[in-house]
Structure 1
């Protein structure tokens, strides 16, 4: 029997984290690497992923940087092929990369924005997971962790299109869990609340909005990016070996407030 410490240990495991050159993705990647995983750092620019991979190596962690625009089919294929070439396996996929190019009422958005946000936030995680699935199936194990949002459960104002994509990601996760569990593949989804990252800066830099949020949530504050790494660690490791199809909020109590 493994001890609980051993169950959290990710030595020998290989993880791909999309959108991991900054923000939540970076802190998740760092947490996985510190726990022993070999990391594939991925985001759109090669210079950005190389810089992160170098930082990891200097800290004694194992990582490579592979640039990938998650909305591009060819680049997704190359990401998976190069990971297999380098490490020979894929144990953990964290679908973290997302965009939110529009902030406003539903009726004022154009179709091209809808297509763009759906392509990156829903279609890309679906297709990237499909590319990784045969490798996880062949080894009889794997953990897919999709990063959604509390916006996918509880609608906020002016984030309608983003909320739709994050809700779809939750249902994608449940279907992956249902269909792929027989192959030893687990799929879970994490729903962060408001986190102080560049991605959400337009929200938390608004003093009035930030004060209202802090007053409303039970923990009375926003999250730091590194507060998302722990729940991912559990879902990625053998410590969470019976967890699949789950929706896990890390939101300071946002969903129970109001």
Structure 2
């Protein structure tokens, strides 16, 4: 549990895609600061393992929530599970994302378009809406959208992914203005290529 000046003791954080890469490190950082955390991912076994490991290491409560963010009807259940367990949500980290199909934008299939937009745009917006409706932070919460530097510039052969991340950057700015008066901060973090399982196809064997 945290003993430093940056303390989240008594707060509750929900992190999507929380079992690996940036999501896992976000879970660990929040738990290190004392927050109880909800770890959301698709694989039941891995999600439970991460939650158990976080509880042991940081002496906080960690709730595994198994869900597929590509299915919009699963969003309300995620928020309900967290509120039922902890009674509140203070921090929402929208990290989960679908890997981009590589190739010319003009060749993107309707199926690939729907998948990328569903997971990378619709899901974080739907989850934010549900969390706010559930009283996110009781007027003092925080939403953190993990986007990408690819959303800030044109990336050949990654056009659909770049477009999705650009959409979330724009949505973040809009939500910040709309939710700010209610005391809810909305920010985006746009990392470049980080060596994770998600980016393995980009970094190769370097």
Q: TM-score, normalised by structure 1?
A: 0.76
Q: Distance in 2 between the 1:13 and 1:72 partners?
A: 28
Is 1:22 the counterpart of 2:20? The answer is yes
Aligned residues: 202
Query: Structure 2 vs 1, CA of residues 145 and 138 (structure 1 numbering), >3 Å: closer, same or farther?
Result: closer
The runs of at least 4 consecutive aligned structure 1 residues that moved more than 6 Å come to none
Is 1:188 the counterpart of 2:182? The answer is no
Q: How far is 1:95 from its partner?
A: 0.3
Q: Distance in 1 between the 2:178 and 2:155 partners?
A: 31
Measured on the aligned residues, the alpha-carbon RMSD in Å equals 1.3
Aligned residue for 1:247?
Answer: none
Aligned residue for 1:11?
Answer: 9
Instruction: Name the SS for the 1:192 alignment partner.
Output: coil
Aligned residue for 2:158?
Answer: 159
In the TM superposition, what are the counterparts of 1:1-258 in structure 2 within 5 Å? 6=5, 8-59=6-57, 60-136=59-135, 139-207=138-206
Deviates more, 1:170-179 or 1:198-207: 198-207
Contact kept? 2:88, 2:136, Cα under 8 Å? no
Q: How far is 1:18 from its partner?
A: 0.1
Q: Which consecutive residues of structure 2, in runs of 5 or more, have no partner in the other structure?
A: none
Instruction: Name the SS for the 1:168 alignment partner.
Output: helix
Q: How far is 1:70 from its partner?
A: 1.0
Contact kept? 1:177, 1:187, Cα under 8 Å? yes
Instruction: Name the SS for the 1:175 alignment partner.
Output: helix
Q: Which consecutive residues of structure 1, in runs of 5 or more, have no partner in the other structure?
A: 208-258
Q: TM-score, normalised by structure 2?
A: 0.94
Contact kept? 2:37, 2:63, Cα under 8 Å? yes
Contact kept? 2:176, 2:185, Cα under 8 Å? yes
